[in-house]
Structure 1
């Protein structure tokens, strides 16, 4: 009798539905970060776009000052499951470098 050897990434003890899909995990993290930013009084009225790719949160948009930018990054880091945060928020009136 020959038993097949599983690939290293396969776990025969887990059913297919047990592991979260990467896309659904990214959507869940994006929703949690958006909720945190909308609740906090510092970031709630700012123009912030949230994108999550492979558990990396990308914050983009325009904010009022450096304090708001820092708080937004800190709030994103505080969400459980976030692997990294790319804080690409810019200040109103700030020009892009050439």
Structure 2
């Protein structure tokens, strides 16, 4: 277990998040929040070394695909890891 220095702002086990990755994750999250197919979904966005990681639960496969494509459209994205899961038991018309 790592022990951070008292004035070190990041207390996680890995390296501190890069400013560019934080900005990239924010841009992707903003893009997902304004698109009508993804804005009401439970999607968490993180980035590491230009790779965007999408995690959470979405209603259908089309929404999962759209989220991945929207992430790719953001400038600066090197790769997308689409780890979104489909909500089980969800049916149209409910």
1:13-70 Cα deviation digits (max 9, x unpaired): xxxxxxxxx7110011001001100000000000001010000000000000000000
RMSD across aligned positions (CA): 1.2
TM (norm. structure 2) is: 0.75
Instruction: Give structure 2 stretches of 5+ with no counterpart.
Output: 1-16, 90-94
Partner of 1:46: 41
Cross-structure match for 1:26: 21
The normalised TM-score by structure 1 is 0.72
Q: Which runs of 4+ in 1 moved over 4 A?
A: none
Stretches of structure 1 that go unaligned for 5 or more consecutive residues are 1-21
Aligned length, in residue pairs:
73
Q: Secondary structure at the match of 1:80?
A: coil
The equivalent of 2:52 in structure 1 is 57
